[in-house]
Amino acid sequence: MAANVPPLKVAVLHYQPATDPMDPVVTHICDALSALGHTPVTIAVHDRVFPVLEAIDSARADLVFNVCETFADDYRMEVNVAALMEMAQVRFTGSGTAGLLLAQDKILTKQLLEYHEVPTPNFLTFNGDTFEAFGRMTFPLIVKPARSDASIGIGSHSVVKDWDELTRRVREIRKTLNDESLAEEFIEGREVYVGVIGTTAKPEILPIVELDWGNWEAGKPKVSDREVKFNTVSEDGPSIEIARNLSPELKARIERSALLAFRALKIRDYARVDFRISEKGEAYVLEVNPNPYLEKESELAMAAEERGLSYTQLIGRIVESAASRYVFKPRPEKTTTGETPQAQA
């Protein structure tokens, strides 16, 4: 237990559609919180607002550990869940509405990154029938929904080689996902992920993790689609590992970009920044994930372990970082009725 964090009652807030099994990440985090000396409880979020507020209120937790990525089957409403907690003046881990909103919108993200001179692939945006180009574009391009997550609407079919295919994909995204599109230059090359943990003032960059494409079909564009992310491919398919053979100079550029991105997008406590490294050795930020998967086998947990931080310590660091925004009074001893009055900020 870090000296500045007293034992807390921590509510793990997670998305839970009625018929789905519980996400293993919830148990992983609860176990880590217990090992740290905290008292975990869980709060399930599905598609109704008032029960969430009631559950948060009745949990009387000192801190909410927020891993909720969706509301009512809509991943874009992740931001609204954080907004609810801000309005209810609940203390919670991870990014607030600002960070979640900026990072969710890939176009806004890229505009901010460009302002901070963080390399990101040249891109086109489409708004209805018009498009705007940022930089000179060379096909092939990859077409993505502007506010996607977890590779929704992204796969090998997203890589287009001419204007015809491009406009078809843009229309498809508008129709199926009701979203704007952006088209980026498709960067051939290594794909790496960088975890950043801690406060904006004192963030720590974790060791770089790489996607090993395994026995990826020759000729098929390398795109980390949902199958890759949710590991439904064969044994010798794509997997993650610690990145080796990055020159100190390239590593330094990647780390600088990850740090600038963390700050530019107003991220709090933890994030994972996704990169592609071109064959010429330029490291491009693809996107920033302010609420990355925190499961024990995740990229972030693997990176933490490489740094010498156990999974429990990683969760502890996130709690510490969040706790530094708030003031906690020690929880009073239990009363004879077993009630524990809520700690006040």
Ligand X SMILES: Nc1ncnc2c1ncn2[C@@H]1O[C@H](COP(=O)(O)OP(=O)(O)O)[C@@H](O)[C@H]1O
197 binds, among ligand X, Mg ion, none (CB under 5 to 8 A by kind): none
Name the minimum Å distance from CB 274 to Mg ion.
Answer: 4
Asked if 324 touches ligand X (CB under 6 A), the answer is no
Among 151, 189, 143, 192, which residue's Cα sits nearest to residue 168?
A: 143
Between 274 and 295, name the residue whose CB sits nearer to Mg ion.
274
In the complex, minimum distance from the CB of residue 158 to ligand X, in angstroms, rounded to a whole number:
7
Q: Mask 83-122, x = binds ligand X (CB under 6 A)? A: --------------------------------------x-
Decide whether 274 or 299 has the Cβ nearer to Mg ion.
274
Site for ligand X, residues 126 to 145, rule: CB under 6 A: 142, 144
CA 243 from chain centre, in angstroms, equals 19
Q: How many Å apart are CA 275 and CA 298, to the nearest integer?
A: 16
Q: CA distances (Å), 138 to each of 15, 113, 243, 249, in order?
A: 40, 20, 28, 27
201, 173 contact by CB (below 8 A): no
Which of Mg ion, ligand X, none does residue 123 bind to, with CB < 5 to 8 Å depending on kind? none
Subset of 149-208 contacting ligand X (CB under 6 A): 149-151, 154, 184, 186-187, 191
Q: Which does 342 bind (CB under 5 to 8 A by kind): Mg ion, ligand X, none?
A: none
Q: Tokens for 289?
A: 């994930």
**With respect to ligand X, which residue has the nearer C-beta, 278 or 342?**
278
| Residue at 182: amino acid letter | L
Q: Which residues bind ligand X (CB under 6 A)?
A: 121, 142, 144, 148-151, 154, 184, 186-187, 191, 223-224, 274, 276, 286-287
